[in-house]
Amino acid sequence: MDRMDLHGIGMTSRRTRERLVQRLLDQGINDSVVLDVMRTTPRHLFLDEAMAHRAYEDVALPIGHQQTLSQPYVVARMTELLMASGPRQRVLEIGTGSGYQTAVLAQLVGEVYSVERIKPLQQKARQRLRQLRLRNVLFEHADGCMGWPEYGPYDGIVVTAAPQRIPEELLSQLAVGGRMVLPVGGDTQDLHLVTRSSSGYETEVVESVYFVPLLPGKER
Ligand code: SAH
């Protein structure tokens, strides 16, 4: 990518991004490391041109294939919850989508293993991460309901599409000491934080959210 993409004026202006970070602060995001990454990650690069001018609004935006780029507040909140008890080395992400949450995670954890069921979305995301020189990410085109057992267990799991119930496979791929953040539900959904200790799993319901559904199978 050339310098213009990253530092161009207008939608990438410092003021525009500061406004977003201020909004995140106002909404209770207070992990300064997470806020710094939200400030510097160029969200407009994860959108098609027609949508890019809205990149620094705190809203979910369409990315095609009936999917959406998550709202910045939700990305920040999930990331903050994931990181809350110390650094994460291996993080599984289900629902790569645009790759925006992937890019945020890649700057904060050791390695990201990201699974997406729609091939063209995965391909675009892979390109964007390469442009940004974020190299600690592996992508997989698969049904994330099965997790990605090959590289597990993971000390962090983030799911960005909502299952009706937490998939068993994801629970079993969570390491002892690991944290999983995911939306659960249908028409109404709640963000869940699952922690695994040597004695079992504990689940905390955080707040209500709205995500696209976690769907079975994969699409070409
Ligand atoms: N974090 C993404 C959110 C994308 S929306 C972003 O900020 O851009 C959720 C994504 O989950 C969609 O791309 C959708 O295709 C994907 N998804 C839904 N069910 C899935 C499944 N079973 N396995 C993998 N990905 C899935």
Domains and CATH numbers, the chain: 3-209 (3.40.50.150)
Band (11; pLDDT cuts 50, 70, 90) = low
Measured by CA distance, the residue closest to atom 16 of ligand 1 is 95
Whether 114 is catalytic is no
Residue 185 structure tokens: 């539900």
Please pick, among 13, 70, 85, 114, the residue that the annotation labels catalytic. Answer: 70
Sign of the torsion formed by the C-alpha atoms of 73, 74, 79 and 85:
positive
- pTM of the entire structure? 0.95
Average model confidence (pLDDT) for the chain? 94
- E strands, the chain, are 61-64, 67-69, 90-94, 111-116, 137-141, 154-159, 174-185, 189-197, 200-209
Query: Mutation test of ligand 1: which of 77, 117, 126 has the most ligand atoms closer than 8 Å to its C-beta?
Result: 117
What's the pLDDT band for 16 if we cut at 50, 70, 90? confident
